[in-house]
Structure 1
């Protein structure tokens, strides 16, 4: 039998703690399998980069591309962190030094052309002549891609087109899918010609894979905690798959790589050095606290209101992980206290909806609520801080609310400035339901804070 060994990672999110082990594993296994005469492939399924880490932020992801090169990846697809947390030019130049294929079938420039660095699929031919088609798809956050100058299309329609193109040209089809487990299962049920789906985005863990309609699904969780391995046995004469299986290697239990702590510390330090650009000089510290009013959180909320031009604004104090010390403030300092890939946003609400949201924000559940996902890289929500909003008496369920200097008008339409994370979850149903949202990209909240500090503390 011809044996195909397919290794894969997904959603590393710049958690490099185990990257030396992953590198050691895949480079050693490549040698082993090639010595045995077997085929070896190595793929990443997106969100390898995350700008919370100074190495990724300082290099705008190009450092991640270098790591993928060093580990010998054959192909990758992009995730939403590569796709929508970089400016147009930063994404367009991200893979300039790549030594692998970037497979993403559903991303185009505004004029409908494909970016030079991406192809929808690639065909690999093994030593025995087996033809393997590999397709890449990414989650189509259409509105964000539009704002950044890209065009993200329906992944299912692009998949149909790719399958038509590959129908008579391949014996085996593999999909690299940064779409999430639900979409992967739907694809497996709908397209029997796909043999293997390697997935990501929803951080799901499939220890032994999952068979759906005879399609094998594989996924390796998040943060480099696992490395995936799919094994396909193929009849070399008929090119039919005889058996398929998947497994995961737990990197926590893997033997430490040589000098791994030094390597991970070097990545962090090199990123920190790149971000030592001075932003401002503080004569006094600016505190940020999660459970009481504090000057730096207030400053961020003021800046959010100014930046968006909204009627009022609010945000949670947990967005700032710490305050700023007296003395020089650098880009690294701002990344350290505000690492989230969260953009400013406005939403239009009528007075009744705005009142509903603001009264909900007074609930005692919020300050200690622990949040994961939605771009949030902190721990707890913290209290809410308001600008252009006044409660009287504060905390009462029957509170009178003023917007600016006027009582809230139930029939008036207001523009509310918020972090975009409030639009994705169901924290505030009225915000979630609103059909009039405006996202400001590619600026993160820390970019707003940087600009304000540069104005105030040159």
Structure 2
């Protein structure tokens, strides 16, 4: 007897709720099938750059996943790192699906809200082992209260489990990125299918490496992945993989879609606006807003110096400041990175960063938590870099003098500042960039202009 199975998968939605209406129509349409249907989400569904995800700490995303009829989901770094640990521990309280994650633990072991793996038995009797792993950002998971495990080692252990070995098919829900996915396909013939994400790659008709199929459907709900499997005697005899553009499901001039998209943003803004942060007394100009952010970063991280870029600041603040204002002004999924440097090391960092400043100024930046438009100009807090010299407290810095310097974590993780990547850094949790500024304003906002 042939077992016909359809898997629909959503990749890296990142709270792009403006894509949800057509994504929902695509899911509904492709769910009309005589095949057994399984729906999965590959992680990074939550992104606090959207005000309603921010206001609900991602729980609104879970409500939409329930509405789509998701069966299984894994987590991405936006859930595992973009949410504080207590937020992630509460994220799935209202889920109607089963989260799976095989390489994440806390001090008590496997998180209660997820299974390490799962065996799904179809109506026709096919046993499918679902394994799931997220990208191992060791430096960022650890200070957030999690231990992220090396995924390939965990995969080997899971493949050796008796339940997995007894399954007819092994499917990996991968939030690891395309290179890991290809490595899995090249190394583990036991894996029949890898559904990939994280690197936002797209396999419009799938890919086959050795005997392992790969699927991936881009990001932001631009595509819906559809995999049709035909299984006979526990073996795949046919596999059709498609990434279907959801733009095909846009209805011309659909007022309901426009109303939905607007309502989601307005509801998030309304909720966040209820959380008052500070009264600055007047509207700040852009330069003053930058200076406030620099000061906030230094004080709240207990650091002497900071280096930021103006592209991080999307809106001027004041006179009243709410969490809605900060969410608009600083929408980024970033935390701060602190490093200790000598004057000489700081000069080397500045030489590299400022040399690239003009090139980066108007460059569109994507990824690494950046939710702005362009990099913008470099700005410094509590120091200056002029004519190749460092000035601190109006004097030239000694080469052996030591400083604590704080930056957004993007500077460490991205490839354009290798001098910073070589340094030992401490990533500061649990506050996102804007949450740190909010703490500062709650304590200093009223007096900021009097300093």
Q: TM-score range by the shorter chain?
A: over 0.9
- Determine the structure 1 residue equivalent to 2:88: 91
Q: Which of 333, 338, 362 matches 1:341?
A: 333
Spell out the pairing of 1:237-256 with structure 2 (5 A cutoff): 238-256=233-251
1:268 aligns with 2:265: yes
Q: Which of 122, 126, 135 matches 1:139?
A: 135
* Cα distance in 2 between the residues matched to 1:47 and 1:63: 14
- Determine the structure 1 residue equivalent to 2:278: 280
1:107 to partner: Cα distance: 0.8
Spell out the pairing of 1:394-405 with structure 2 (5 A cutoff): 394=386, 396=387, 399-405=388-394
- Determine the structure 2 residue equivalent to 1:382: 376
Q: Give 3-state SS (helix, strand or coil) of 1:449's partner.
A: helix
My pick for the range that moved more, 58-67 or 446-455, is 446-455
- Determine the structure 2 residue equivalent to 1:317: 310
Does the 8 Å contact 2:342/2:400 carry over to 1? yes
Does the 8 Å contact 1:286/1:323 carry over to 2? yes
1:159 aligns with 2:155: yes
1:385 to partner: Cα distance: 1.4
* Cα distance in 2 between the residues matched to 1:251 and 1:409: 58
- Determine the structure 2 residue equivalent to 1:200: 197
1:325 to partner: Cα distance: 4.3
* Cα distance in 2 between the residues matched to 1:68 and 1:14: 11
Q: Give 3-state SS (helix, strand or coil) of 2:337's partner.
A: strand
1:266 to partner: Cα distance: 2.1
- Determine the structure 2 residue equivalent to 1:59: 56
Q: Give 3-state SS (helix, strand or coil) of 2:69's partner.
A: coil
Aligned length: 439
Q: Which of 347, 354, 366 matches 2:346?
A: 354
1:175 aligns with 2:151: no
* Cα distance in 2 between the residues matched to 1:340 and 1:115: 27
Q: Give 3-state SS (helix, strand or coil) of 2:160's partner.
A: helix
Q: Map Cα deviations across residues 279-315 of structure 1 (whole Å, 9 max, x no partner).
A: 1223211122xxxxx0110111112122222232111
1:446 aligns with 2:411: no
* Cα distance in 1 between the residues matched to 2:143 and 2:150: 17
* Cα distance in 2 between the residues matched to 1:456 and 1:280: 8
* Cα distance in 1 between the residues matched to 2:57 and 2:201: 26
1:6 aligns with 2:3: no
Does the 8 Å contact 1:27/1:72 carry over to 2? no
1:456 to partner: Cα distance: 3.2
Q: Which has the higher helix share?
A: 2
Gap runs ≥5 in structure 1 = 289-293
Does the 8 Å contact 2:14/2:46 carry over to 1? yes
Does the 8 Å contact 1:216/1:245 carry over to 2? no
Q: 1:78 to 1:224 in 2, by over 3 A?
A: same
My pick for the range that moved more, 351-360 or 191-200, is 351-360
1:17 to partner: Cα distance: 1.5
Q: 1:320 to 1:175 in 2, by over 3 A?
A: same
1:138 to partner: Cα distance: 0.7
Spell out the pairing of 1:45-84 with structure 2 (5 A cutoff): 45-84=42-81
Q: TM-score, normalised by structure 1?
A: 0.92
Q: Map Cα deviations across residues 237-296 of structure 1 (whole Å, 9 max, x no partner).
A: x221111121111112224378222222222222112111211223211122xxxxx011
1:161 to partner: Cα distance: 1.5
Q: Give 3-state SS (helix, strand or coil) of 1:336's partner.
A: helix
Q: Which of 117, 125, 132 matches 1:129?
A: 125
* Cα distance in 2 between the residues matched to 1:400 and 1:133: 60
Q: 1:95 to 1:309 in 2, by over 3 A?
A: same
- Determine the structure 2 residue equivalent to 1:430: 419
Does the 8 Å contact 2:101/2:134 carry over to 1? yes
C-alpha RMSD of matched pairs (Å): 1.6
Q: Give 3-state SS (helix, strand or coil) of 1:209's partner.
A: strand
1:168 to partner: Cα distance: 3.5
Q: Map Cα deviations across residues 384-440 of structure 1 (whole Å, 9 max, x no partner).
A: 11122134xx3x3xx322234543222344321111111011332221101x21111
1:94 to partner: Cα distance: 0.4
1:16 aligns with 2:5: no
- Determine the structure 2 residue equivalent to 1:120: 116
Q: TM-score, normalised by structure 2?
A: 0.93
1:331 aligns with 2:323: yes
Q: 1:168 to 1:365 in 2, by over 3 A?
A: closer
* Cα distance in 2 between the residues matched to 1:206 and 1:403: 52
1:219 aligns with 2:216: yes
1:362 to partner: Cα distance: 2.9
* Cα distance in 1 between the residues matched to 2:119 and 2:257: 35
